[in-house]
Amino acid sequence: MNSNPSPRTDTREKIIEAAASLIPEVGWGGVSSRRVAERAGVNTGVIHYHVGSIDELRRIAAVRKIRTFFLDRIGDALTRTDPAAAVEAMLRVLSAGGPRDPELLLLYESLVAASRDDQLRAEIAASLAELRQWLCDWFAERGVARPLPVAVTLTAAIDGFLLQRMLDPDLDPGPLIEGLVTLVEHQLA
């Protein structure tokens, strides 16, 4: 049995990756079928065949990258067994990139676009709800007394920190890490 992806899947993935790489470079509205086709090395008609509209392509690319951005980084931190150490590791890895990190720029562009696109807003909100639930379950399994408030506080603090860091690249994550680690430690049974 052949486990290689089909040429159709490869082309679709190239198109999605091209769109995702363009969002931080040219902004949400600057991602056009022409630019994506050039970046992916395909003709414009292929984009609409594989994805539909450019709006749908931007949504797919953005939501996928946002999910990976958070889940990959947070997933690595959650390999630790101590919740306080995991929170510190999570915040350190999320703050490691600079404010011009392409994944952060994609996140910012997507959040602004979501204010005008109900479908994008709903998809990003669903991904963030999944992230909060994942963290809540993880904290509960490790004896955190009130896992949902900790998960909500943590995700809100991460969002706020990333936004503020974009505006102030010198913002030190140390005080936030100290505050959230203390919060988690006080919630351990």
In the chain, % of residues over pLDDT 70: 95
> Domains plus CATH for the chain?
7-187 (1.10.357.10)
106-141 b/e with 16+ CB inside 10 Å = b? Answer: bbbbbbebbeebeebeebbeebbeebbebbbebbee
Give the C-alpha separation, 179 to 157, whole Å: 10
Q: What is the mean pLDDT of the chain?
A: 91
Report, as an integer, the average pLDDT of 66-87: 90
Q: Is the pLDDT of residue 2 over 60?
A: no
Q: What pLDDT score was predicted for residue 65?
A: 94
In the chain, % of residues over pLDDT 90: 73
- pLDDT bin (cut points 50, 70, 90) of residue 48 is confident
What is the tens place of the pLDDT at every residue in 102-119? 998 999 999 999 999 999
Q: What pLDDT score was predicted for residue 4?
A: 59
Q: What is the pTM of this model?
A: 0.86
Residue with the two structure tokens 């953005």: 62
Closest listed residue to residue 131, CA positions, set 105, 157, 152: 152
Closest listed residue to residue 31, CA positions, set 62, 60, 59, 58: 58
Q: What pLDDT score was predicted for residue 5?
A: 57
